[in-house]
Amino acid sequence: MKTQVAIIGGGPSGLLLSQLLHTRGIDSVVLERQTKDYVLSRIRAGVLEQGLLRLMEEAGCADRMHREGFTHDGTLISCGDELFRIDFTEHTGTPVMVYGQTEITRDLYAAREAAGAEIVFSVGSVVIHGADTDAPHVTYEKDGETHRIDCDFIAGCDGFHGVSRQTIPLSVRKEYEKVYPFGWLGILSETQPVNEELIYANSERGFALCSMRNEKLSRYYIQCSLSDKPEDWTDEAFWQELKRRIPADQAEHLVTGPSIEKSIAPLRSFVTEPMQWGRLFLCGDAAHIVPPTGAKGLNTAASDVHYLYNALRDFYEQDTRDGLDGYSQKALARIWKAERFSWWFSSLMHRYPDQSEFDLKMQRAEIEFLRTNAAAQKAMAENYVGLPY
């Protein structure tokens, strides 16, 4: 098989890149380790920056998103029972949209299948060959047979545990990482959200987040120990703990119900440099991880896709390599700013096991400064809605 761009990973970043390339007549093949049903079963955050919305529009996949998504003009932050609002549109003129990552993926699969795209599921033993040459290729196994794809370029959209980043020699790449000493216990419930906007809560008992997918589907999180397991928490215990961490007037109106999904996610900040090696380019979680505070994971992947898509378009349409040669530098400049915001917001809202009384006073002072200072609110709003590409 031969294609122009081999894309490893059939999640939202790989699918979005494939669909965008398709709109410009650039061929691609997508390889996915899991089944389509498995990919669509993964529960992820769904706060979308305007940059991602524009990419979905350019890809021709935005109709359902605009029809069913929820525009949010701000977010709520609490410290104990004190609650205040950061107004995105007042400070930036730009809202965000709440629309589940699963729905983004579903829309992209529908568009790719309608276009007759080549998406190969349940592949194994993926190996990238000759990425540092002018003739790269990818081999993989499917149904007991070995297959080969010859291509011009390879996009590694296969996540943190994928093969793409590992293909770049250790002598070339450098990795930066911070592992946080807690996780997030999250549940999904078929209940009305406690508030029409997200609530980020700092409490003496730890962080909590009240989020939603739609008017009848809520997503809630609480900070937990890394040693905890989902089965350690009954639904009743989760709801009781959540109520203790959010303002009393919000807890009073919290609608509880059986969880339909429950999981624990560790928190990590991670970046690899560079994000390219020869004709191999990394996108999304293959190159960087952010803690979920502030919902930057999918949005940082989208900015990578933007830079890579435009670089490939310039190569095929204008015969210039400038965008490709500068991809890593341009992508990383924005990634580190998103990493900073996610690190700052996580540090602001969580309780750390080694925090001293002084540390807690500084954290409270930082929250109070954010509550009362318009410039601080503007800076947060600019980062939350997404820095420009």
The answer to the question of residue 90 being in a domain is: no
Quick: pLDDT tens for 349-363.
999 999 999 999 999
- For residue 41, what pLDDT is reported? 83
**198: pLDDT strictly greater than 70:** yes
**372: pLDDT strictly greater than 80:** yes
The answer to the question of residue 240 being in a domain is: yes
Quick: pLDDT tens for 11-43.
999 999 999 999 999 999 999 999 999 998 876
Interatomic CA distance for residues 228 and 231, integer angstroms: 8
Total-model pTM: 0.94
Same domain, 160 and 63: yes
**44: pLDDT strictly greater than 80:** no
The answer to the question of residue 77 being in a domain is: no
- For residue 261, what pLDDT is reported? 92
Same domain, 57 and 205: no
Same domain, 210 and 255: yes
- For residue 213, what pLDDT is reported? 83
Same domain, 325 and 258: no
Same domain, 34 and 67: yes
Mean pLDDT of 95-100: 94
The answer to the question of residue 91 being in a domain is: no
Same domain, 138 and 126: yes
Same domain, 25 and 43: yes
**214: pLDDT strictly greater than 90:** no
Quick: pLDDT tens for 274-316.
999 999 999 999 999 999 998 999 999 999 999 999 999 999 9
**Which residues are bridge partners to 263 per DSSP?**
186
The answer to the question of residue 330 being in a domain is: yes
Same domain, 104 and 242: no
Domain count, the chain: 2
**58: pLDDT strictly greater than 80:** yes
What confidence tier does 46 reach under pLDDT thresholds 50, 70, 90?
A: confident
Q: Over pLDDT 70: what percentage of the chain?
A: 99
Cis amide leading into 136 (omega within 30):
no
Give catalytic residues, as residue numbers.
72, 200, 292, 296, 384
Same domain, 65 and 200: no
**178: pLDDT strictly greater than 90:** yes
**164: pLDDT strictly greater than 70:** yes
- For residue 100, what pLDDT is reported? 87
The CATH number linked to 184 is 3.30.9.10
The answer to the question of residue 156 being in a domain is: yes
Same domain, 174 and 240: no
The domain of 207 spans 180-266+351-385
The CATH number linked to 300 is 3.50.50.60
The answer to the question of residue 86 being in a domain is: no
Same domain, 114 and 163: yes
Same domain, 158 and 283: yes
Residue with tokens 């299948």: 113
The answer to the question of residue 242 being in a domain is: yes
